[in-house]
Amino acid sequence: MTTGTLENEFVPTWWLPEGHSQTLWRKFSPVEEVEHKRQRIELDDEDFIDIDWSSVVPKESQGDTIVFFLHGLCGCSRSPYILAMQSLLNAQGIASLAMNFRGCSGEMNRLARAYHSGVSEDVNEVFQKLSAEYPRHNFVFVGYSLGANVLLKWLGEMGSHPNIRKAVAVSTPFALEHCSQAMLKGISRVYGQYFVRQLVKDFRNKQQYLQSFRPEEAERIAMLGDTGNIASIWEFDDRITAPLHGFEGAQDYYRRCSSAAFLSAIETETLLIQSKNDPLIPPDSIPGSDRLSPSIHLQLTEHGGHVGFVSSNPRNWLEQRILNFLQL
């Protein structure tokens, strides 16, 4: 850990020794079911974001804490890593919610725009509306992968806030261009191809949905051209993400949205959990201590994969590590 003391060093279970197996096991292993209650947040641009609350209702007492989760690329509130953490919090009687980025809740959003690694404005708007609804509560934030990048960018932009106590970012793609390039090489290409197929399919389905609902928004997608030959995350970001969200191209998007540029400005006490054998995040993209603000702790493990961290003792190392840091 770069600041603070090392706690609970991660040791992988013997049958998941390297990064790919850790990553895939987390995604496909069974998890406990968590009952959700949905709340729709209407946004100022006439779109919406759905958040899913756990079954534990926020208490009325002053200073109680709500845990706010942000999922990764092609994820949602029912991603295994979020359900695992919410299950643990439910057992502790701690209220939590998972924010679904635009179009990720199982219902198409109303605009052509979607979500990306830098949509801190959406997190900010949802938080402002929730903090007005729960003015007596504190919030802590936990972001995973893309959601971790968005979280760190937002914290760096915002500075301090009296209702935000702590934050945790897991498997953050600090340098988006490096991570995009990593998914063009070796076995990591499999992850890139999976994400591209999902993203292109989602945009085609959205275009078809908007055609009868909001044809002018469907036309914005149609103007991007044929998406059938997009073969990489970089191409997707250059031809779809960037023009839809006001960037000049993939490089401009990566430069303006990579969380590494915002770390020195973060005032909220924040834990970064990162693995050296993450197949999606090259080790050289992990920032050195000179780029971290005094409020940031970095736990860099030898093993763990991408949002994996599957151990035998304890079985839920990642969840326990997060809970210990948050001190709920």
- CA-to-CA distance for 166 and 267, rounded, in angstroms? 10
Residue ranges of domains in the chain? 1-174+259-328, 176-257
The pLDDT of residue 6 is 45
- CA-to-CA distance for 249 and 237, rounded, in angstroms? 7
Residues 310-324 pLDDT 10s: 998 888 999 999 999
134: nearest Cα among 102, 101, 99, 95: 95
Q: Residue 7: which pLDDT band, with cuts at 50, 70 and 90?
A: low
Is 45 an active-site residue? no
**In 3-state terms, what secondary structure has residue 298?**
strand
Residues 16-57 pLDDT 10s: 989 999 999 998 888 888 999 999 999 999 999 999 999 898
Is 278 an active-site residue? yes
CA angle 139–91–40, rounded 5-degree value: 45
Is 71 an active-site residue? no
Peptide bond into 314 cis (omega under 30): yes
Q: Is the pLDDT of residue 166 over 90?
A: yes
Which residue is catalytic, options 54, 297, 306, 311? 306
| Helical packing angle, 80-92 and 317-326, nearest 10° | 50
Question: Which of the 8 DSSP states describes residue 289?
Answer: G
Please say whether the beta carbons of 241 and 247 come within 8 A. Answer: yes
Please say whether the beta carbons of 141 and 279 come within 8 A. Answer: no
CB atoms within 10 A of CB 189: 14
Which residue is catalytic, options 54, 79, 105, 145? 145
Buried b vs exposed e over 234-243: b needs ≥16 C-beta within 10 Å? Answer: bbbbbbbbbb
The pLDDT of residue 1 is 41
Q: Residue 5: which pLDDT band, with cuts at 50, 70 and 90?
A: very low
Question: Which of the 8 DSSP states describes residue 300?
Answer: E
Which residue is catalytic, options 52, 96, 278, 311? 278
Which range has the worst mean pLDDT, 8-17, 87-96, 265-274? 8-17
Report residue 33: phi and psi, to 5°.
Answer: -75, 145
The pLDDT of residue 328 is 85
Please say whether the beta carbons of 307 and 145 come within 8 A. Answer: yes
Residues 114-163 pLDDT 10s: 999 999 999 999 999 999 999 999 999 999 999 999 999 999 999 889 99
- Please give the CATH architecture assigned to the domain spanning 1-174+259-328: 3-Layer(aba) Sandwich (3.40)
Report residue 117: phi and psi, to 5°.
Answer: -75, -5
Q: Is the pLDDT of residue 280 over 70?
A: yes
Q: Give one DSSP letter per residue of 161-219, joined into a string.
A: -TTEEEEEEES--SSHHHHHHHTTSGGGHHHHHHHHHHHHHHHHHHHHHHHHH-HHHHH
The pLDDT of residue 32 is 81
User: Where are the extended beta strands (E) located within 80-154?
Assistant: 95-99, 138-144
Residues 78-113 pLDDT 10s: 999 999 999 999 999 999 999 999 999 999 999 999
226: nearest Cα among 213, 241, 240, 205: 240
Helix (H) or strand (E) holding 24: helix 19-28
